[in-house]
Amino acid sequence: MKLYEWEAKHLLASLGVRVPKGQLVKDKFEGKGRYVVKAQVLEGGRGKRGLVRATDDPQSAIDEMRKSGVDLFLVEEYVPHDREAYISALLDRETGEPMIAVSPVGGVDVESMAQVRTFVIPMERGVRGYDLIKIERHIGIKGVGDVVNALYKLVTEYDAELAEINPLAVTPEGPIALDAKVIIDDNALFRHQDLLSKFNRAYKPESYVDLGGDIGIISNGAGLTMATMDMVKLMGGEPADFFDVGGGADRARVKEALLRVASNPRVKRIVINIFGGITRCDEVARGIVEAIDVIKKPVFVRLSGVNEEEGRKILAEKGIEAYSRAIDAIGDALRS
């Protein structure tokens, strides 16, 4: 679960990191002077979309952003600073240990940063003084102990799979987090109910990812769903979504998936790619049949595996002919 910027900063501040003085605003802001107005949305790239603005007229900035549908803003004091750096913590997949990543140049997309260095700090010992010396040397900033300790704690105690401060600004009073991104491991949310209630977030992990195109995609298993999406793209189509119904999906789950994918107004045709292992093709077929009259969009179904024959028969009675190969189903979906 990705936290909103204000939530991430609240958490960081509670762990001893300096953040700009700020205020959550829905529509009206009284203050005068130089401020930074930041739309509280979860999508990245806010700067490029004009959703972060340093301004002497915060109310106008708010009014303008409200027009694009934003309804919550973090209005912060403007912090003059000399320089911006990058720092984050995440679990290193190779060693299974927390890792601090830093760059002396922040404020830009981390992928385009040249001087990123990583420091693996094993859980067994935690952050030590010599780690800080090495980190401070690389980014050329003194006094990052609180920041490093807070980020480290977010990974080991708050189950953050990514805790990032970008940029970390250098001021005479020490480093300060101008922007923050924290993503909590969905699987660990059960032990962070206090956070959920503090931020008033009800979170349900979803197997649906919006991809922006017009070909709806439903498949079973993450790998197969990805492969389906890749094949659609490779054959010249634009995937509308990624929807993995998971292992052992029954008719209700399939019906629900189909209704969800079809409810996207951009979706024109839907590819369903099922390889029955734990999932039974007849259950899938029943789910499709139950949804098809409601959605009124053409579906291209590939069925293979357990109870395939029965599944095909159920679909055939509804006038849907199942394919044996995903490629053929996708090909016809793109041609029709």
Partner 1 sequence: MNRNTRVIVQGITGREGSFHTKLMLDYGTRIVAGVTPGKGGTYVHGVPVYDTVEDALREHEAEASIVFVPAQRAPDAVYEAVDAGIKLVVVVTEHIPIVDSARMIKYAKARGVRIVGPNSPGIIVPEETLIGIMPVRSFRKGRVGIASRSGTLTYEVAEAVKELGHSTVIGVGGDPIVGTPLDEAALMFENDPETEAIVIIGEIGGTSEERIAEYVLSGKIKKPVVAYIAGRTAPKERRMGHAGAVVYMGQGTFESKMNSFRRANVPVAETPYQVAELLRQLL
Q: Are 12 and 165 in contact (CB under 8 A)?
A: yes
- Distance, in Å, from the CA atom of 164 to the CA atom of 60, rounded to the nearest integer, reads 30
Catalytically annotated residues: 86, 164
Stretch that binds partner 1, among 59-67, 77-85, 131-139, 237-245 (CB under 8 A): 237-245
Q: Is 101 in the site for partner 1 (CB under 8 A)?
A: yes
Residue among 34 and 117 whose Cβ is closer to partner 1: 117
How many residues touch partner 1 (CB under 8 A)?
Answer: 56
User: Which of residues 61 and 85 has its CB atom nearest to partner 1 in the complex?
Assistant: 85
| 85 lies in the binding site for partner 1 (CB under 8 A) | no
Q: Closest separation between CB of residue 11 and partner 1, Å?
A: 17
Which of the ranges 137-145, 180-188, 252-260, 310-318 carries the binding residues for partner 1, by CB under 8 A?
Answer: 180-188
Q: Does 256 bind partner 1 (CB under 8 A)?
A: no
Residue 82 or 111 with smaller CB distance to partner 1: 111
Min dist CB 277 to partner 1, Å, is 4
Give me the residue label for tokens 């054959």.
Answer: 235
Is residue 327 part of the contact set for partner 1 (CB under 8 A)?
A: yes
| Subset of 45-84 contacting partner 1 (CB under 8 A) | none
Per CB under 8 A, 155 contacts partner 1: yes
Q: Which of 77, 230 has the CB closer to partner 1?
A: 230
Instruction: Name the segment binding partner 1 (CB under 8 A); options: 15-23, 67-75, 239-247, 313-321.
Output: 239-247
For residues 135-154, which are near partner 1 according to CB under 8 A? none
Window of 47-55, 92-100, 138-146, 172-180 that interacts with partner 1 by CB under 8 A: 92-100
Judged by CB under 8 A, which of 104, 216, 276, 311 binds partner 1?
A: 276
Compare residues 11 and 79 and give the one whose CB is closer to partner 1: 11
Strands 180-184 and 160-171: antiparallel
**Alpha carbons 52 and 61: distance in angstroms, whole number:** 9
239 binds partner 1 (CB under 8 A): yes
Question: Is residue 89 a contact point for partner 1 (CB under 8 A)?
Answer: no
- Which residue of 275, 307, 331, 332 would you call a contact of partner 1, by CB under 8 A? 275
Smallest separation, CB 59 to partner 1 (Å): 32
From the list 10, 73, 89, 86, the residue with the least C-alpha distance to 38 is 73
CA angle at residue 208 from 207 to 211, to 5 degrees? 140
Binding-site member from 54, 72, 108, 224 for partner 1 (CB under 8 A) = 224
Verify binding: residue 207, partner 1, rule CB under 8 A.
Answer: yes
3-state secondary structure the chain: CECCHHHHHHHHHHCCCCCCCEEEECCCCCCCCCEEEEECCCCCCCCCCCCEEEECCHHHHHHHHHHCCCCCEEEEECCCCCEEEEEEEEECCCCCCEEEEEECCCCCCHHHCCCCEEEECCCCCCCCHHHHHHHHHHHCCCCCHHHHHHHHHHHHCCCEEEEEEEEEEEECCEEEECCEEEEECHHHHHHCHHHHHHCCCCCCCCCEEECCCCEEEEECCHHHHHHHHHHHHHCCCCECEEEECCCCCCHHHHHHHHHHHHCCCCCCEEEEEEEECCCCHHHHHHHHHHHHHHHCCCEEEEEEECCHHHHHHHHHCCCCCCECCHHHHHHHHHHC
Residues that bind partner 1 (CB under 8 A): 44, 88, 90-91, 93-94, 96-97, 101, 110-111, 116, 123, 155-156, 159, 161-162, 185-188, 190-191, 207, 209, 211, 219-227, 229-231, 233-234, 239, 242, 244, 247, 275-279, 304-306, 325-327
